[in-house]
Amino acid sequence: MTSPARPEPTTESYFVGLLAENAKRKDIAAPATIRTLTAKLAYLSEDQIEQVRRAHAYAAEAHKDQWRRTGHKYITHPTAVALILAEMRMDHQTVMAALLHDVIEDSDTSKATLGEQFGEPVAEIVDGVSKLSNIFSSRAEAQAENFQKMALAMAKDIRVIMVKMADRLHNMRTIGVMSPEQRKRIARETLDFYAPIANRLGIHTMKTELEELGFKALYPLRADRIDRAVKSARGHRVELMEEIASTMTAALNRDGISAKVYSREKHLYSIYRKMKTQHKSFNEIMDVFGFRIVVDQVDACYRTLGVVHTLFKPVAGRFKDYIAIPKANGYQSLHTSLFGMHGVPIEVQIRTKQMDAVAENGIAGHWLYKTGDGDFEPNQQRARRWVQDLLELQRQAGNPLEFIESLKLDLFPDEVYVFTPRGEIMELPRGACPIDFAYAVHTDIGNHCVACRVDRNLAPLSQQLQSGQSVEIITSEDARVNPDWLSFAVTSRARSAIRLALKHQQSSDAIALGRKLLNRALGNANTSINDLDFRRLRRVFTELGVRKLNDLLAAIGNGELMAYVAAQKLLAADNPDYEAVTVEGGGPVAIRGGEGLVINYGRCCGPVPGDQIVGHVTPGKGFVVHIETCPNINEIRRRAARDIIPARWTSTTEGEFLTKLKVNVSRRKGILAEIAAEVTAADAGVDNINVEERNAEISTIMIGLLVKDRSHLARVMRRLRNVSAVIGLSRVNH
């Protein structure tokens, strides 16, 4: 007789079995429930607690088919995260966001839906946590410091960080169910990123627990050995520490200083880190006794320092005044080391009650304090008030809503953090663009930049970057530095590199133009630069104020020296019988477009390929191209005809050229948009538009156009003539 087939285990039955198995483990805590959570929320109003209950119900429904590796339903995790924040007396919106923090990622719920259900502030926090989760999965392990800063910079609302930190803390508390490889990876991430962020924000209790849990998960054997050694050493230390503490208390009382003396026991990870970084044995670390003295006023801190220095001999060079000069996270205290009774080393921290509260529980970012108590920026004052309010709320039950707006702080207001294509993080100032990024990577990358991708999409080189974006620079060997970059690059490195490149670029462009102009001037003598023996012409270089050929060519290209004058002197020195009058002729200068900084186009007439052109050399501007009939050229002809140099367009030209149109139109609504649309439809560009009112019925519009050649300009003009409001148009050539 065959037995009936055994049914396949369901997902739920699998996790129920896993729960029973994990119940035997000592490191799996009882799951958090809505009842335990609401019991911790007594400091909130009934209405706020009801909103938290509604968020819990919503999250439970969204996660109803999901389970944790501990065997518990998934909702127990966000409930535990909310409980951690409730113990810190965070506001009801933060607790609601903690309950909902995985809903966007793990279900079909959108940010907009959360906003409709629970309000925009809650939706913003949940969305911020989701974005941080993506950042934390990046390949940035080697740049922990920048990583921490970027995570903080991305969270405009500090509550986002708080939810993310509480999420990691609960995950660390239940890390025992993960595989050894996962435990090590998560623990390393916790020690590298999360614990330092907690330290940067001044949340000492959270930082310590994250470090202890991370240390035990990453190095379980080392943690166990140190733990056993601490317990073994604790026995004979207690009596001596009590004796030292009572001696300090009695001395302070005699001087009329109200103070409490606490003995401090080192944490396992702190002991391990000191042993490793300071190359000390366990006994050397444990031989140092730690005490914290808490007083009422700042001046009492310094009086207390005098008392303990009188009581025990101080160790030279071991005094630190973090009250006058706080640490980056706002931590304040006096630190001193002493030789105690029986020769026992003593480390003492002296601080006020407020400093102690900030050190243990506060959220004090690096922007919070300066060297002293005055002259704070407005956002720093708000942050300081906010921290004080939060600390007060942690000590007393109350309504935290009055300072919620102050929570919305940008912790790094002057910096942005972006990814390279390899996942490295670059720190840039606020307002930086891809050009700044390119030069931050390498000067050659900046000098050869032609385009960029931001978050894998093509973007303008002038676009301001935001924290968390990935930036890729597209380069070309033939690329040239653009002078316009100076108008939007903000870093000194980029701006100085651009100026240097432009200087070299202008120099090389000037040399190339000078070579072209000098060869043209030498043409009527049936010779060229290559035919001259410059070893015999050093005297001419000295006479012209240059040292070498390239200096001479650059001077000609920059307009500092006329080509025919240099040619005349060179030919005369090379051949005493040379007739100087034959030098002025020569073929026209060929213009391609895009030659560089020393070929310019007259803005008065706006020449484009197809126009009959001439040019002249102007100091500082190089070779300036004009239409042959330009009034400015006629003026130069009258003054010095020999300065006019014939020019021609090459058979193929590059780029777009700026010219102007004058358009008379009947005044009507939307005419500017209509004209701009016609220009765009003709594949031309609009550089500028100016409107000059003639009378109540007719307006004159001056349009700066970017076109490829005369035929392109003609197409644009035909399209504009077809606009019904256009009465007449003409090209401006003066």
Q: Look-up: residue for tokens 């560089």?
A: 596
670: left (phi over 0), alpha (psi -120 to 50) or beta: left
Annotate 247-309 with DSSP letters as a single string: HHHHHHHHTT--EEEEEE---HHHHHHHHHHTT--HHHHHTSEEEEEEESSHHHHHHHHHHHH
Distances in Å between the alpha carbon of 22 and those of 29, 292, 670? Answer: 10, 40, 73
Its sign, for the CA torsion 562, 565, 569, 575, is: positive
Query: Considering only CA atoms, which of 412, 416, 468, 410 is closest in space to residue 440?
Result: 416
Question: CA-CA distance, 509 to 597, in Å (whole number)?
Answer: 7
Query: What's the per-residue H, E or C state across 594-649?
Result: CCCCCEEECCCCCCCECECEEEEEECCCEEEEEECCCHHHHHHHHHCHHHCEEEEE
Question: CA-CA distance, 407 to 167, in Å (whole number)?
Answer: 19
The single residue of 50, 87, 106, 405 carrying the catalytic annotation is 106
Phi (first) and psi of residue 241, to 5 degrees: -65, -40
281: left (phi over 0), alpha (psi -120 to 50) or beta: beta
**Structure letter (DSSP) for residue 203:** -
86: left (phi over 0), alpha (psi -120 to 50) or beta: alpha
Question: CA-CA distance, 582 to 151, in Å (whole number)?
Answer: 73
* Beta carbons of 49 and 39 less than 8 angstroms apart: no
Annotate 23-69 with DSSP letters as a single string: TT-TT-PPPP-HHHHHHHTTTS-HHHHHHHHHHHHHHHHHTTT-B-T
Pair type for strands 657-666 and 698-707: antiparallel
Phi (first) and psi of residue 220, to 5 degrees: -60, -40
Q: How far apart are the first and last CA of the chain?
A: 109
3-state secondary structure of 237: helix
The single residue of 50, 105, 377, 455 carrying the catalytic annotation is 105
Phi (first) and psi of residue 731, to 5 degrees: -85, 140
Its sign, for the CA torsion 374, 379, 384, 385, is: positive
Q: How many other CB atoms sit within 10 Å of the CB of residue 417?
A: 26
* Beta carbons of 617 and 623 less than 8 angstroms apart: yes
3-state secondary structure of 693: strand
Radius of gyration of the chain (CA): 38
Active site residue 472: no
**In what helix (H) or strand (E) does residue 17 lie, and over which residues does it extend?**
helix 11-22
3-state secondary structure of 99: helix
Active site residue 105: yes
Distances in Å between the alpha carbon of 275 and those of 190, 283, 284? Answer: 20, 10, 9
Q: What are the residue numbers of the active site?
A: 105-106
